[in-house]
Structure 1
Amino acid sequence: MFSDKGEFKEAFLKKLEMTCGKSFSESSEKDQFFTLGLMIREYVSTEWINTNERYRVDKVKQVYYFSIEFLLGRLLHHNLLNLGIEDVVASGLADLGIDLAHLEDVESDAGLGNGGLGRLAACFLDSLASLNLPGHGYGIRYKHGLFEQKIVDGYQVELPDQWLRNGHVWEVRKADLSVEIPFWGEVEVREENGRQVFRHIHAERVTAVPYDMPVAGYKTDTINTLRLWTAEPSRYPINQDVLKYKRETESISEFLYPDDTQDEGKILRLKQQYFLVSASIKSIIQSYKRQHHSLINFHEYVSIHINDTHPVLAIPELMRVLIDEEGLGWDTAWGITTQTISYTNHTTLSEALEKWPVRIFQPLLPRIFMIVNEVNERFCSDLWNKYPGDWNRIESLAIIAHNQVKMAHLALVGSYSVNGVAALHTDILQNREMNHFYKIFPEKFNNKTNGITHRSWLLKSNPSLSNLITMGIGDEWIRDPNQLRRLLKFKNDSSYLQAISDVKTENKKNLAKRIRAQTGEWINIDSIFDIQVKRLHAYKRQLLNILHVMYLYNRLKEDAHFHMHPRTFIFGAKASPGYYFAKKVIKLINSVAEKVNKDSLTKDTLKVIFLENYRVSLAEEVFPAADVSEQISTASKEASGTGNMKFMMNGAITVGTLDGANVEIHEKVGDENIFIFGLRSDEVLNYYQHGGYHSMEYYHHDKRIRQVMDQLKSGFFPEVMDEFEPIFDSLIMENDQYFVLRDFSSYVNVQESVGYAYEDQKRWRQMSLVNIGESGHFSSDRTIEEYANEIWHIHPS
């Protein structure tokens, strides 16, 4: 881009004047950020065009990754790093009196995702480009993200996430590539040249406008594309309220995850999902037809991957296009579709496996419903031939049953590959949750354990540790993360271990400054930073964590002989706006923090912090500072987790159940470098299947449990009265669905082991080194290579 910082400075100043119409001395940090972002985007444009041209000329097979979320975070630092120009730019800006870090803070986190699903998609895009693989993302350009979280009197308050208020410098609007999406209306069926022809009439049409973002690989010449769609009015309907039509149209791409507890929200969610897949498939086919004459070989050049059930309508939509617009017969279209679409399942939770009422689905998407119904009829016919008379089995496997369309079932039938995201998760899918489907389609099922891009979560977010790693083993680990295993040779090198510890201390100081600025709390740097940051959900058991904090507080207050190493418990989480129970847990965490942090007897030993508005840019400060990684979900419930990998890569030690990818982390680091507790997945599943768990027994027989449970109702938190009775009731009256009380004693014991281990600093540093050294396996580069070779069959270009 620039041969030296002098050339950069000259270009930057010229560009700023041209772009902003003002002199450098008059410019703001926003002007400077926008100018730098524009320079970077223009710089990659040539390679972006060249990449697409290379794919076109070579007619390579490309993968298109459909996801309702892409949790990108901020992109300035990421792009500078991947393009290899960070040092030149930082130095040139410094000469002009500009701190690059300040410009990075100007950028808003892109509000395009919520949790691990969206962050995984972002990591996958980075790995695809960094491995020179032809792969692109397709999503929705939400005007507002999930929400901006404020904590007011301990309660979560949701504010609109205005991430686009200052525009988005990385995107390019492609209005000429817009497509129309129909909703509502009717389907006209007629005979034409001896075949049935279907036409969607009287539809309400919406225009999908693409905004493209370049996805730069790490020091490669590959620039892939993330295409995000925004909904705009099409032709204003006659005899209809124009303002109502405009409002309903724009709402499709206004909010990530609208509240779907009522029909209006359900309709909007379903609109979003069809909007995404219909626009994307039309775009892909338009591009394909510019290079190829026939769609018969479509699947040989195109792979469409659906990230969880949200984009499953890609299956009937591709069928619709092939049949209605391209004139192919059913069998031919089905053959192409089922060789094109692959599916990742991300959950074993039944409530997360989407189902849509027919009464909503059919009128909103009349032609799509006809196709789904036909798929269901043919599938059930095949099942009848395979299991004659077994109506119960057929009913349980049907795509449409009890007036509901089951999206996961549609995905299982209409895709050629179905993968879980951790070895345990895939095993549960095959042998329990989707066992009937596995028996029918065993060849479809496979495992692809999740990964994270080490360039973002180590190289970018923890530069001091990255430099230390490079000093020890060279920089090959950046391209080949398996090289991190070479760090194990330093396991008995006291000076290297001390250097790693010093880096951790600096990172803890940085996070403590952030906490001080945000909460006003002083943090003891020598305390154990025990961190749980993730989406707030009952199965993730933030509740178990905070009940344990209450137990420690009670011990400190009542037992003068009780010793514990100072501990700072740090939480970060958003609760879905309609998730009543999760919001109660947030309030409980903040109420415990208020009590503990103000108690002169305990405040130097025990501290509780809730980080407001947890997001990617905050996560980049949190992971490097962690000593302990809390991965304490109920065994069998967390499909994989990726936070566990980010903590591990930054040298934190996992306290966790044998759930999700924790199982594979445990296999990599060994018993002595991880803290495992609690029920195993087979024990949990046995309880669900056969019963036998009675939470009341644990309440009556364990005085530690009884004390913390009673404190939820006894006036222990005088300012909230009966606020926490729903939590008490969920654990006692409703029999503790996620086995919080069953695992409490085991959790207390393992946490005591953590404290003892930390006080043996030599041992702790060795444990940290082993976790870093074994983390390379959990790079998304490994994951994407497995997808590329075993599912998509794409190759570097």
Structure 2
Amino acid sequence: MTSGSEGGSKVLNEVLLAGHRRDDAPQPDEAPRTLWKPPAAAAVPQSDPVATLRAAILGKLAYGLGKSPATARDRDWFAATALALRDRVVDASLETAPFPHKRVYYLSLEFLIGRLLSDVMGNLDLVATARAALAGLGVDLDAVSDAEPDAALGNGGLGRLAACFMESMASLAIPAYGYGIRYDHGLFRQLIDDGVQREVPETWLAEGNPWEFERIESACTVGFGGEVAMTVQADGSLRRAWRPAEAVRAVPYDTPVVGRGGRHVNALRLWSARACEPVDLARFNAGDHVGAVSDRARAEAISRVLYPSDGTPAGQELRLRQEFFFTSASLQDLVRRHVAERGDLRSLPDHAAIQLNDTHPAIAVPELMRLLVDEHGLSWEDAWHVTTHTLGYTNHTLMPEALETWPVELMERLLPRHMQIIYLINWMHLEEVSRHRGTDAGYLAEVSLIEESHGKRVRMGHLAFLGARRVNGVSALHTELMRQTVFAPLHALDTDKIVNKTNGITFRRWLHNANPGLTRLAVEAVGPRVLDDPSHLAGLAAVAEDAGFQDRYAAVRRERKEALARVVQDRTGITLDPEALFDVQIKRIHEYKRQLLNILETVALYQAIKAEPHRDWPSRVKLFAGKAAPSYHQAKLIIRLASDVAKRVNADPDVAGRLTVAFVPNYSVSLAEAIIPAADLSEQISTAGLEASGTGNMKLALNGALTIGTLDGANIEIKDHVGADNIFIFGLDAAGVQRTKAQDGYAERAIAASPRLRAALDVIGAGGFSPGEPGRFRPLVDELTRGDRFLLTADFDDYWRVQREVDAAWVRRRSWWRAAILNTARTAWFSSDRTMREYAEEIWRVRVG
């Protein structure tokens, strides 16, 4: 960054400022000069797009930020550039039809949008223009891009998927609003202190957000607690009215989401929680200065932090308050819009499709019913028809503990009217089931919205299922397992309701922006049409065996690996060899994702190299990144084990140049954009039947990493598309997992049958990687030897075997690059554009384009 350099001054003086100097003091023998001013737009030739954008950036720097080029930091240049580009997005948005026939409303507790500058520049075809405009000011676009904070408003795949879907809907010109929460602090910033994860707040809003617009005129009120009053109407009917004890102001902030080519713009509307009264003046004037703002603190806590710990009753209540807050505000907003544009709410299904992204917004079912019946006077029958023909529900998990349930006591206290509505929905539902299926108590308990085996709890997955017109899974395997497991009783009542919509990713972010070198290669090989239609990537298959193309493909990978090595060196101090195989596992740290299996294989490989130091071992880098939930002790222990293994392995001269291990802290979207184009091997090793889909597997395969994985989630469909010869599959399938779990003592038998696994567990359990605290990792070893509910022991030997196949394949570089190119060529189907078309046509019934 040289914005304050002499070279930058000359550019400004000669090109833009017509002789105005940027030096702060007058020159000798000169009269005091006039202050610097940005160039007038009228003075810039409109035929020169670089000069036009440069002038716009300088104007925003001066009049939007109050800065001059001499005092501007990288963050200021970013904000000025974002504001200049935002103007162009607004121009495009004003051309979008104000009242489309039908809109999609996508409700998600997470939107992991990351940095937006590259998205906006790419979709407006302004990357080269912006680079040149800033370069003319002595400013480096890469430094400006790095100054943008990651908007970490999500935990992982769920939130990143929502961001991909929003971008694809804009690119396909599907009119849509995304609805979520504008968290003051998104997912925590992860620090690794001697292997121990520490969480500190992520302050993405510390200097404001230049992309967003505050829409105070669209604020609404969300209630909590209180009582339900009943009145008799003139016709003798009963009318119920909720009188909340607490009111919170929901203030929307809109971030424009621009599609490919800038042809269509949607809005991501995020809600911020505010107190209706910012201060209790009576208490303040009485001297209770802290108590006077306690109500404000309670209200604003709702949008303070993403995923507050729900390990306490207070934490559970806050989580439920968050979910209801954004769901209620979103429904009020879209109902208000529909009434203003269309009038009769009975036509809502014709003009709105509301998609619930997982169970977090499942409270939409009773809240929409409340709005329709209590606030707008629809009959129960009409309201239920509207609700069940407007809502859709996407399920993302098969793990029972991840399907939300809420204590009835908490619901009755916090949302009393909604609990009444849920009871009525459940009563009518069970009456219908009894008429057609009999009154077997066990079956009725399975399909009831209220689970009563461990205290009364509301099943939010069941509630979303009943209230939705369609329920979809996110991969072929996941959808079929939904029918067979978590929703089997409900599926039997309506066998057409569950459909599959395999996830996808936006290629504009994860190929065009993240890997421009590979994108240029694709354009050279198959033409520029690949930028608009990823199906044309299939043309790369024709050059997969071309030695010259393989060399260029390998050179692009080498550049990305060198760039990643610099990032890892900067963050960890660990040196990576770009010639080594980069073996990458990047995802949320969770036992079912089985980072521990990868670490066990790493320890076994380390022991094998130590035992046979003269063997020709291929050089390998094991790279881990991901965050553990703050209260998830086992996951944090896995991070510490990975760090301790790295410390010992990397310091051992016997394995130098053969094995390097690194845990890179603070995994984020921007870090993923650095890692994914550099990866050679993609670890997708979850226990079969537990990963709903995965999208990291798609991003890595698209960029040419070969997958080592189980037959789980979308791995199955990736295998079908890229070909069995171009992927490494190991381990039990979902049916095999269930058979093995049914056998007592499977872990003990697997360990006894595998000397390699037993040796790895022994050295970990004995403190071989934690000599100062020998028992540090005993809980991990005990979990595997006594239970192993995620079947690491059962899959270990096959995983080891296939990893040695990877070693052999890596040595044969021509065949490796052929397989990598075919992965890129054959993953076009996993575009989120394809996914959104399927949702639009088969679930939402909305026109594309």
- Tell me the TM-score range normalised by the shorter chain: over 0.9
Residue 184 (structure 1) aligned to one of 201, 225, 228: 225
CA deviation string 1:24-71 (max 9, x = no partner): 2222222221111111112221222332xx141xx4110000000000
CA distance in structure 1 between the partners assigned to 2:696 and 2:67 by the alignment? 44
Residue aligning to 1:49: 94
Which secondary structure does the structure 1 equivalent of 2:847 belong to? Answer: coil
How far does residue 381 in structure 1 lie from its aligned partner after superposition?
A: 1.0
Aligned residue identity for 2:698:
M
Aligned AA for 2:390? T
Structure 1 range deviating more: 480-489 or 715-724: 715-724
1:13 aligns with 2:58: yes
1:771 maps to 823
Q: State the identity %.
A: 40
Q: Given that residues 740 and 746 in structure 2 are in contact (C-alpha distance below 8 angstroms), is that contact kept between their aligned partners in structure 1?
A: no
Q: Which residue is equivalent to 1:433?
A: 486
**CA-to-partner distance for each residue in 1:155-192, whole Å, 9 max, x for gaps?**
10101111110111111001111000000111101111
Q: Is the 8 A contact 2:183 2:305 kept in 1?
A: yes
How many residues are paired up?
Answer: 791
1:266-281 maps to which residues of 2 (within 5 A)? 266-281=316-331
Is 1:23–2:75 an aligned residue pair?
no
TM-score, length-normalised on structure 2? 0.92
Q: Distance in 1 between matches of 2:403 and 2:197?
A: 27
1:759 aligns with 2:839: no
Normalising by structure 1, report the TM-score.
0.98
Instruction: Report what 1:74 is aligned to.
Output: 115
Q: Could you say what secondary structure the match of 2:794 adopts?
A: helix
- The alignment partner of 1:320 has SS state of helix
Any idea what the Cα deviations from partners look like across 1:231-260, whole Å, max 9, x if unmatched?
Answer: 000147989954221111010000100000
CA apart distance, 1:10 = 2.5
1:747 aligned residue: 799
> Given residue 645 of structure 1, which amino acid in structure 2 is its aligned partner?
M
Structure 1 Cα separation of the partners of residues 745 and 238 of structure 2: 57
The answer to whether 1:453 aligns with 2:506 is: yes
Q: Is the CA contact (8 Å cut-off) linking 2:503 and 2:830 kept in structure 1?
A: yes
Structure 2 match to 1:293 = 343
Where in structure 2 are the equivalents of 1:287-686 lying within 5 Å?
Answer: 287-402=337-452, 403-686=456-739
Contact kept, 8 Å, 2:582 with 2:622, in 1: the verdict is yes
| Distance verdict in 2 for CA 1:514–1:773, change over 3 Å | same
Distance 1:143 1:773 in 2: 40
CA distance in 1, matches of 2:312, 2:680: 43
1:431: Cα distance to partner?
Answer: 2.1
CA distance in 1, matches of 2:64, 2:49: 22
Equivalent in the alignment of 2:5: none
Change (3 A) 1:792 1:202: closer
Q: Secondary structure at the match of 1:252?
A: helix
- Deviation sequence 1:712-756 (CA, Å, 0-9, x none): 2213120232110110111012x2000101100000000000010
**Alignment check: 8 A CA contact 2:279 2:296 kept:** no
| Bigger mean CA offset, 458-467 vs 367-376 | 367-376
Distance 1:495 1:396 in 2: 61
- How many Å apart are 1:134 and its aligned residue? 0.9
* 1:499-524 CA-partner distances (Å, limit 9, x unpaired): 10111111111101111111111111
Q: Which amino acid aligns with 1:196?
A: L
Deviations 1:309-346 (A, max 9, x none): 00001111110000001101111100000000000000
What are the within-5 Å matches in structure 2 for residues 728-739 of structure 1?
Answer: 728-733=781-786, 735-739=787-791
The aligned runs of 1:27-42 (5 Å cut-off) are 27-42=72-87
Distance 1:625 1:109 in 2: 20
* Contact 2:277 2:296 (8 Å CA) reproduced: no
Question: How far has the Cα of 1:133 moved from its partner?
Answer: 0.9
CA distance in 2, matches of 1:521, 1:15: 40
Counterpart for residue 218 of structure 1: 260
Cα distance, 1:693 vs structure 2: 4.9
Q: What SS does the corresponding residue of 1:498 show, helix, strand or coil?
A: helix
Q: Is the 8 A contact 2:731 2:798 kept in 1?
A: yes
Structure 1 residue 561, shift from structure 2 partner: 4.7
> CA-atom RMSD, angstroms?
1.4
The answer to whether the aligner puts 1:121 opposite 2:162 as a matched pair is yes
SS in structure 1 of the partner of residue 232 of structure 2: strand
> 1-side partners of 2:765 and 2:223: how far apart?
53
Give 5+ residue unaligned stretches, structure 2: 1-45, 284-290
Q: Which amino acid aligns with 1:140?
A: I
Deviation, 1:563, is 3.1
**Distance (Å, rounded) in 2 between the aligned partners of 1:442 and 1:741:** 37
Gaps of 5+ in 1: none
Letter in 2 for 1:145: G
CA apart distance, 1:146 = 1.7
SS in 1 for 2:190: strand
Partners of 2:342 and 2:138 lie apart in 1 by 53
Q: Distance in 1 between matches of 2:276 and 2:772?
A: 53
Instruction: Identify if the C-alpha distance between structure 1 residues 603 and 300 changes in structure 2 by more than 3 Å, giving closer, same or farther.
Output: same
Alignment of 1:131-170 (within 5 A): 131-170=172-211
Question: For residues 743 and 142 of structure 1, do their structure 2 counterparts lie closer, same or farther at Cα, with a shift above 3 Å needed?
Answer: same
Verify the 8 A CA contact 2:331 2:368 in the aligned structure 1: yes
- 1:173 is aligned to 214
Matched residue SS, 1:182: strand
Q: Could you say what secondary structure the match of 2:153 adopts? A: coil
Does the 8 Å CA contact 1:12/1:36 hold for their aligned counterparts? yes
- Cα distance in 1, alignment partners of residues 753 and 545 from structure 2: 45
- Equivalent residue letter for 1:465: L
Contact conserved, 2:767 with 2:776, CA < 8 A, in 1? no
Aligned to 2:222, the other structure's residue is in SS state strand
Give the letter aligned to residue 639 of structure 2.
I
What is the rounded CA distance, in whole Å, between the counterparts of 1:686 and 1:703 in structure 2?
Answer: 24
Structure-2 separation of matches of 1:22 and 1:596: 50
Distance in 2 (CA, whole Å) between partners of 1:732 and 1:74 is: 43
- Matched to 2:183, the amino acid is Y
The answer as to whether partners of 2:248 and 2:276 remain within 8 angstroms in 1 is: yes
Structure number with larger C-alpha Rg: 2
How far apart are 1:694 and its partner, in Å? 1.8
> Deviation string for 1:350-400 (max 9, x for gaps)?
110000001111110011111111111111111111222311011011001
Q: Secondary structure at the match of 2:260?
A: coil
What's the CA shift string for 1:220-239, capped at 9, x where partnerless?
Answer: 42110000000000147989
The code of the aligned residue for 1:259 comes to S
Measured at CA, do residues 531 and 265 of structure 1 come closer, stay the same or move farther in structure 2, by a change above 3 Å?
same
Residue 7 of structure 1: how far off its partner (Å)? 2.1
Structure 1 segment 662-741 matched on structure 2, within 5 A: 662-688=715-741, 690-717=742-769, 718-733=771-786, 735-741=787-793
Q: Distance in 2 between matches of 1:224 and 1:636?
A: 35
- Further displaced range: 431-440 or 236-245: 236-245
Could you tell which deviates more after superposition, 711-720 or 754-763? Answer: 711-720
What whole-Å deviation, never above 9, does each CA across 1:517-568 have from its counterpart, x for those lacking one?
1111111111100000000000000000000000011111112454320100
- Give 1:491 shift: 2.1
